[in-house]
């Protein structure tokens, strides 16, 4: 019940979808692959031109790697990402008849697709319960005292046992946003709606003098992110 209470409260605080929850399964998968170690805003800005150039997995599979690079060279690791995107698209065409697969095992069989990426796609594109664990989810669930783990892989395994299945899809959506804005490295516990349910001992409960400016900036960033997400397809 404590877990569900936290997820309910955070769902009320963070109502927007995940930043990479865009378009059809192909678009969703590409967006998540591009977002690795990259700011969401950077990815969302390049997506409209990317879809015009490569509207389907087949079109992407036929493109030269350099062509793909030229469409994503504003983000980090673009050369490796271009290689992975081409290989992924080729496998989708050859193994799955051009359709993005809808199971965990099939998705992680694709080049460049790990469990975190697959989990986001399963939730956003196929309405399949899954828990995508990134650094935010890993950090927050340890701070909350839900798990005591040292790696995201361990955290995912633990959460799949702890969190009621009906709430799997909520975890990543709310924790990524909360971890980006509030439960940061030096946490803003003074602005956290679930601090009373958190076991983190070094809580920062004193709001700074510019607290209202910080909160206003968070809202501005969220509005901008949602605008870019809506324009991405």
Establish whether 95 is a catalytic residue: no
pLDDT at 1 over 90: no
Give the pLDDT score at 167. 97
Domains (range + CATH), the chain: 2-16+131-231 (1.10.1670.10), 25-126 (1.10.340.30)
For residue 171, the model assigns a pLDDT of: 97
Could you give the angle at the alpha carbon of 223 between the alpha carbons of 178 and 20, nearest 5°?
65
Q: Which of 116, 161, 177, 203 is catalytic?
A: 116
pLDDT digit string (tens) for 44-80?
Answer: 999 999 999 999 999 999 999 999 999 999 999 999 9
Nearest C-alpha neighbor of 119 from the set 179, 75, 170: 170
The verdict on pTM exceeding 0.85 is: yes
Is residue 116 annotated as a catalytic residue, yes or no?
Answer: yes
Confidence of residue 117 (pLDDT cuts 50, 70, 90): very high
Backbone conformation region of residue 99, classed left if phi is above 0, alpha if psi is from -120 to 50, else beta: beta
Catalytic residue among 40, 134, 169, 177: 134
């Amino acid at each position: 019940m404590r877990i569900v209470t936290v997820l309910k409260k955070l769902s009320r605080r963070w109502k927007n979808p995940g930043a990479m929850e865009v378009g059809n399964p192909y678009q969703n998968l590409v967006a998540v692959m591009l977002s690795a170690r990259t700011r969401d805003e950077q990815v969302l800005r390049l997506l409209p031109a990317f879809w015009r150039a490569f509207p389907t997995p087949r079109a992407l599979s036929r493109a030269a790697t350099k062509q793909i690079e030229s469409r994503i060279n504003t983000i980090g690791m673009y050369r490796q990402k271009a290689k992975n995107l081409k290989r992924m698209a080729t496998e989708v065409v050859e193994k799955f008849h051009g359709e993005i697969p809808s199971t965990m095992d099939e998705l992680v069989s694709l080049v460049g697709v790990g469990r975190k990426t697959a989990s986001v796609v399963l939730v956003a594109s196929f309405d399949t319960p899954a828990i995508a664990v990134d650094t935010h989810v890993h950090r927050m669930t340890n701070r909350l005292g839900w798990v005591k783990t040292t790696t995201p892989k361990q955290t995912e395994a633990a959460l799949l046992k702890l969190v009621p299945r009906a709430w799997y899809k909520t975890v990543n959506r709310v924790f990524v946003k909360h971890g980006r804005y509030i439960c940061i490295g030096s946490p803003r516990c003074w602005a956290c709606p679930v601090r009373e349910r958190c076991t983190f001992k070094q809580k920062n409960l004193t709001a700074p003098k510019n607290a209202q400016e910080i909160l206003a900036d968070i809202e501005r960033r969220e509005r901008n992110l949602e605008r870019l997400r809506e324009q991405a397809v």
